Structure 1
Amino acid sequence: MSDAAIPGLARVDHIGLTVPDLDQAHDFFTEVLGAQFMYELGPFEHDDDWMSQHLNVADDTVMRRLRFYRLGGQAIFEVFEYEAREQAAEPPLNSDVGGHHVALYVEDLDAAVERLHELGLRVLGEPTASSGPSQGQRWVYFLAPWGLQLELVSYPGGKAFDREQERR
């Protein structure tokens, strides 16, 4: 570990996402992704500068509801529904500063993509086979109903990078 690294940093704990409609997101997380709903909190609002000091949002922002989901026995999603004066309604593109996507591993990429199509979700192109260090991996992006970018990725035989590491 580098001397500049955060002492004791061990792993990712959770991923926080803001959605426009928590009920719609609940259906997506539980019915499409198969995540387990854990619990709900909220609403939260403050009459002081707590929101800007702790969450980097405007002080008059209200966090209406917050739900937690567990996916695959490990990943935790913290999903927020906010009400804010100048809230952006569209999620950022991958090319925007702050752009992002959530990558999910699947055993059978073709079966997963077929299911996304059956559910009427927007799949971005056809699965792509990676090359170089990621050879052995296939992936495809898709969008949640509100525009969150997700990626399905599969490499059941491992990636070239992993095989190289094993040989060393």
Structure 2
Amino acid sequence: MTIRGIEHIGITVPDHGEAVAFFAEAFGAEVLFSLTDKTKAPLKGTDLAAKNGLNAKAAIVAVSMLRLANGANIEIFEIDHPGRPGGGNIADIGISHFSINVDDIDAAAARFARAGGTLMEGPYGLTGQEEGPGNLGRFGLTPWGLLIEFESFSSPMNYDPGTAAERWLPDSDEDK
């Protein structure tokens, strides 16, 4: 068995159309396909509960797979009876955020804000093993409260002694 890496990240949102539009505007994401949308029959919880844990009384009213540059895909779900909204807090249990690797953190943050995201303080210099000239980070919240991190690496990372593996980073357009 070979583990190849993360193929997609699933995100449940309050409004599918708004989220798809936000990811397209903020990150240039493209819709690859939609398993269902609000013009089609929903995917019922009674059919999916045993497969993915969806509450049997709920239904997926829209779900689309988005391509995001050369990293993991993003699957956007809208559920008719969603659970509790995320707190937009790194201390919340579960997936607290995901990071977007960018070449120009200021341009990425500006695009994110124009799309309707709320930026937190930054950019700031990364610390610890990520520290180095030009290695920067910044967080922002999507309109529905999902925490997203931007990271830019101009300098190599420092690894713990004895570590053979290196952190995977997407290739830049210049590397292709």
Give yes or no for contact 1:94–1:101 (8 Å, CA) kept in 2. Answer: yes
Aligned residues: 155
Identity of aligned residues (%): 27
Q: CA RMSD in A?
A: 2.3
Which of 107, 112, 116 pairs up with 1:116? 112
Give yes or no for contact 2:116–2:142 (8 Å, CA) kept in 1. Answer: no
> Using the alignment, how far apart are the partners of 1:149 and 1:115 within structure 2?
16
Structure 1 counterpart of 2:21, which letter? D
Give 1 or 2 for the bigger CA radius of gyration.
Answer: 1
Which residues of structure 2 form unaligned runs of 5+?
37-41, 165-176
Normalising to structure 2: TM-score of the pair? 0.78
- Stretch moving more, 69-78 or 119-128: 119-128
Which residues of structure 1 form unaligned runs of 5+?
1-6
Against the structure 1 CA distance between its residues 10 and 115, is the aligned structure 2 distance closer, same or farther, given a 3 Å change threshold? closer
2:66 equivalent to 1:72: no
Normalising to structure 1: TM-score of the pair? 0.81
Q: What is residue 83 of structure 1 aligned with on the other side?
A: 80
SS in 2 for 1:126: coil
SS in 1 for 2:83: coil
Structure 2 counterpart of 1:45, which letter? K
Cα displacement string for residues 102-158 of structure 1 (whole angstroms, at most 9, x for unaligned residues): 100110112222333444521111112122211122101001111111000001222
> Using the alignment, how far apart are the partners of 1:147 and 1:56 within structure 2?
23
Against the structure 1 CA distance between its residues 32 and 15, is the aligned structure 2 distance closer, same or farther, given a 3 Å change threshold? same
Give yes or no for contact 1:38–1:67 (8 Å, CA) kept in 2. Answer: yes
Q: What is residue 156 of structure 1 aligned with on the other side?
A: 154
Q: What is residue 140 of structure 1 aligned with on the other side?
A: 138
Bigger relative CO (Cα 8 Å, ≥ 6 apart) = 2
Against the structure 1 CA distance between its residues 96 and 16, is the aligned structure 2 distance closer, same or farther, given a 3 Å change threshold? same
> Using the alignment, how far apart are the partners of 1:107 and 1:158 within structure 2?
14
